[in-house]
Structure 1
């Protein structure tokens, strides 16, 4: 069958809820243009990067880019208004495809309403909600209003198939295209025994994570340094948490170096011999950077209370909350959740990683398997694969 190229304009309506989605959206616009040229028309909701690519946003992302139960409740009237405004704009534009990117609490509310009012508009969801960790029933519900799901993690297509979710395609993770940022160059990471050992501590990027983990992490660091006095401790901070972290470490017995921003974080990872980290995307960054890690997480008060109130609701549906473990399909990375995340347990785990131990080597071996599972075919790119899947869903073959 010969390839079919649509002659008329191809209009995509974007619904993005935060900065990370803006980055993905901007890159996919570039790839769509590379495939179908100036026939591409873009509109919807986006941020600064998508504005450069021609998306004049209906409203600022700051209106809806909120995290945490309290922040959402405070902004709820505005968020509801923006959902309805977005739906009305999609119906008025009559795009060839609606592309929602991440931020499911907002974007999925738009998609569900569009499906009811205009079922002929194909809907693609770029970035799967974490149905493997929270509320697995969402997968089946999504199949009603999402025609294609573009996944960043290689295990997600099988997960959605098992849970009755929408058709799902693995398009790759942005981190696999940033190896030069994450992997040490010559001389950047000293081998164990060649000098002071470098420990990187990552208490999270959200205020609630930092609040819950900074104190036990500090006590764990104290125990580590009591046995390994030659350890240098570095904490990379995201800009909006820097002040909170600087204040929190004032009570630490061992004073860490604090660096700020993504570039400094990646530089610290390239030097690190081991890590103590909150569960999250940063664990995948560490795995790709080749840094053996110990991972901890404490649920916020809302989810902890919900677990106590309703024993029939299983909040965590996976056997692990650590992304590298989910990619690997095993628990190669040690994790300490809730009451398990004691300074004594975490420090003992990190100390094993600061030596040429079986535990350290097992993680280094596991990281090579992560590379194999996450890589894309030679010459392929994440945004390019996503763009082709979008066009295929809309019936445009290139």
Structure 2
């Protein structure tokens, strides 16, 4: 009598939706851990970039199709965006996954999640990277209870914000920067370079063409004004290869031109040697803070966006590092205040040894404790919650 071989573990189908490079990196790290946990008994599908492709995902469309910035950019391409949302929803439903993980980009991913939930309430949904419910549109948190089963937070204060706003369950898994401490912090030689003359000054106008276009002119005038004050410095501008030509064109008429460095390794090396930075607001401020680099921050948006944001922002600072630290230690110059007359003297203060610089460095020293996640890395903690949500099984339609 022939005996049947024991069945292997059931195949788990996991959909992931990430539409930006930062989300692609998170998705790739998550997929790697999920593959380690599930072995060959997992099948990935969804939307992602090169990192997720290396981990086994064939994207339903190139994420470059959604590289849109600003309200005006969204309006111009709204029909295309809506078509891609419809296409993604249909693909998720056809895949019928054991769990759907949406990663950042809430204007796109949450529209997908809402429609998936409406058409198939049985699919569990995890949101990796909280939208900024604590900064504006707080009503989103409560609304998310209808289509998100668990939120994976990158920032330590976010779980409490969700409890206060009556949102879905939210767990702090940790920021990916926690996994990069070794490549962000200087060795002895690099620490010595931070103290040497002339000091290295990082110039960080942004990672998108629209940000670069808005910030390069005022940043150029700031370096000129700083040099006119008699402040010596060696300026470095880290950028990505696809923005290099745009940046070089923008620097063509700068009297004080920085050295351009491209690539992730060169950027990290610049962070480890820098004494200070002039940076646009965004995730880079937390990156600099973790690296121990004091900074002056600036940001400009279009007039329509500025008009809207002034009326909806609910936080006392737009600087991510300030929000994580819980104190406005980093100066910020936004919109009309973003001028060389304001930025140059503030930079002179953080380049020199003095109270302004010391206030930032002392605050940055607290970040390891503030952002700690214990022994597990952020991607491991995230994978654990995704698997736990998946194992709870498909939701009933009335839940």
Aligned to 1:156: 158
Aligned to 1:244: 246
Query: Does structure 2 retain, via aligned residues, the 8 Å contact 1:16–1:101?
Result: yes
Q: C-alpha distance in 2, partners of 1:65/1:210?
A: 15
Q: C-alpha distance in 1, partners of 2:392/2:168?
A: 20
Select the residue among 103, 109, 130 that pairs with 1:128.
130
Aligned to 1:357: 354
Question: Structure 1 residue 329 and structure 2 residue 331: aligned?
Answer: no
Select the residue among 368, 389, 393 that pairs with 1:393.
389
Aligned to 1:310: none
Structure 1 residue 387 displacement after superposition? 0.5
Q: C-alpha distance in 1, partners of 2:76/2:84?
A: 14
**Residues 62 and 192 of structure 1: is their aligned pair in 2 closer, same or farther, counting only changes over 3 Å?**
closer
**Residues 49 and 209 of structure 1: is their aligned pair in 2 closer, same or farther, counting only changes over 3 Å?**
closer
Question: Which structure 2 segments of 5+ residues have no match?
Answer: 1-7, 394-399
Question: Structure 1 residue 260 and structure 2 residue 258: aligned?
Answer: no
Q: C-alpha distance in 2, partners of 1:248/1:190?
A: 32
Query: Does structure 2 retain, via aligned residues, the 8 Å contact 1:192–1:354?
Result: no
Aligned-partner SS, 1:149? strand
What do residues 118-145 of structure 1 show as CA deviations (whole Å, max 9, x unaligned)? 1111110111112233433222222211
Query: Does structure 2 retain, via aligned residues, the 8 Å contact 1:234–1:256?
Result: yes
**Residues 59 and 214 of structure 1: is their aligned pair in 2 closer, same or farther, counting only changes over 3 Å?**
closer
Query: Does structure 2 retain, via aligned residues, the 8 Å contact 1:274–1:292?
Result: yes
Structure 1 residue 74 displacement after superposition? 4.0
Aligned to 1:182: 184
**Residues 8 and 192 of structure 1: is their aligned pair in 2 closer, same or farther, counting only changes over 3 Å?**
closer
Question: Which structure 1 segments of 5+ residues have no match?
Answer: 1-5, 308-312
RMSD: 2.1
User: What does 1:1-398 align with in structure 2 at a 5 Å threshold?
Assistant: 7-190=9-192, 194-306=196-308, 314-378=311-375, 380-395=376-391
What do residues 271-310 of structure 1 show as CA deviations (whole Å, max 9, x unaligned)? 1111111001111111111111111112223212436xxx
Query: Does structure 2 retain, via aligned residues, the 8 Å contact 1:324–1:370?
Result: no
Query: Does structure 2 retain, via aligned residues, the 8 Å contact 1:104–1:129?
Result: yes
Structure 1 residue 8 displacement after superposition? 2.8
Aligned to 1:3: none
Q: C-alpha distance in 2, partners of 1:56/1:229?
A: 51
**Residues 337 and 32 of structure 1: is their aligned pair in 2 closer, same or farther, counting only changes over 3 Å?**
same
Aligned-partner SS, 2:260? strand
Query: Does structure 2 retain, via aligned residues, the 8 Å contact 1:217–1:343?
Result: yes
TM-score by length of structure 2 reads: 0.91
Q: C-alpha distance in 1, partners of 2:92/2:58?
A: 14
Q: C-alpha distance in 2, partners of 1:232/1:241?
A: 21
Aligned-partner SS, 1:57? coil
Query: Does structure 2 retain, via aligned residues, the 8 Å contact 1:64–1:106?
Result: no
Q: C-alpha distance in 1, partners of 2:207/2:60?
A: 28
**Residues 193 and 168 of structure 1: is their aligned pair in 2 closer, same or farther, counting only changes over 3 Å?**
closer
Residues 245-254 or 62-71, more deviating: 62-71
Residues matched between the structures, number: 386
